[in-house]
Structure 1
Amino acid sequence: MAPERLLTPHRPHLLRAFYEWLLENDLTPHLVVDATQDGVEVPQEHVRDGQIVLNIGPSAVGNLNLGKDDVVFSARFGGVPRRIVAPMAALVAIYARENGAGTVFEDEPYYEALREGKIALEESGPEDDPEPPKPGRKAPFLKVVK
């Protein structure tokens, strides 16, 4: 029997789906983050019991990026602008402030393997992308018709 294949995580997809659904229903999305996880960049003075609740509504954040590996945005805390980074593995839940509608994220084997160092995040950026092939000069194929 072949070894079980480690599936990619579904958390980024669920996060984006719930975020859009909450906005569609005029609700305010809040994100619960485990602030004790590696890679989390949040104002520690707002962390309670190892977690922080962040309002990620469009009027509360700037430059929101719900990426494959993390959530990154800018926000103000006490009038001070801060850059927030929350790796997907650190996300606990997304819910609506108004009524609590949302979901708690289950732990996934992918994130367990990541924490245990069995796999690594793929680092990619503009410098890693191969340069697109340059189109070669082709002879024109149109003819003048008289």
Structure 2
Amino acid sequence: MKPLTPNRPYLLRAYYDWLMDNQLTPHVVVDAFVEGTQVPQQYVKDGQIVLNIAAGAVGNLQISNEFVEFNARFGGVPQQVMLPMAAIVAIYARENGSGTVFDIEDAYLIDGEVDSSLSVVKTNAKAPEPTDEPPKRRSHLTVVK
């Protein structure tokens, strides 16, 4: 069976449209260290940058299956921003926080990360021993119809 394509670009477009339709301001959280990410580095904090991608804040916004690309001004200086889909961490509304954080998808992992993230750790953990505690009582509340 052919592997499924990542769902992140489809969900990103859907959330973007939904936020814009509800007159909310969409912001994306971006991992600035993902290869191919072009963002103004002076605004990166703790490896991430939050970008307003509302239609009024950016120009020529394009959300493809591989990249989010747009023009924006940072400190009055126009810049082209390029965000690989792997760099998009979340999309949310500035006004109320509605949105989503994206799951990690295998398609966006670098070779070798898949193996290390799926490794099995063998432990000598034992099942908890039963205690001599009395069984819990039933609730004292009753359903009234």
Structure 1: gaps (5+ residues): 118-146
Equivalenced residue count is 112
Alignment map for 1:10-89 (pairs within 5 Å): 10-89=7-86
Q: How many Å separate the matches in 2 of 1:68 and 1:5?
A: 18
Offset at residue 111 of structure 1 (A): 1.1
Aligned mates of 1:94, 1:56 — CA distance in 2: 10
AA matched with 2:60: N
TM-score normalised according to structure 2 size: 0.75
Residue by residue, what CA displacement relative to the aligned partner does 1:108-136 show, whole Å, maximum 9, x if unpaired?
Answer: 11112xx218xxxxxxxxxxxxxxxxxxx
| Distance in structure 2 (CA, Å) of the matches to 1:44 and 1:110 | 26
Structure 1's consecutive aligned runs of 4 or more residues displaced over 4 angstroms after TM superposition are none
User: What is the deviation of 1:5?
Assistant: 4.1
Q: Which amino acid aligns with 1:70?
A: F
SS of match in other structure, 2:86: helix
For 1:6 and 1:71, the matched residues in 2 are separated by 23
Q: Whole-Å Cα distance in 1 between the matches of residues 73 and 31 of structure 2?
A: 20
1:116 corresponds to: 111
Between the aligned partners of 1:50 and 1:109, the Cα distance in structure 2 is 21
Q: Identity of counterpart residues, as a percentage?
A: 61
Aligned counterparts of 2:16 and 2:32: Cα–Cα separation in 1: 20
> Secondary structure of the equivalent of 2:79?
strand
Give the distance between the partners of 1:48 and 1:101, measured in 2 at CA.
Answer: 22
2:76 and 2:37 mapped to 1: Cα distance?
21
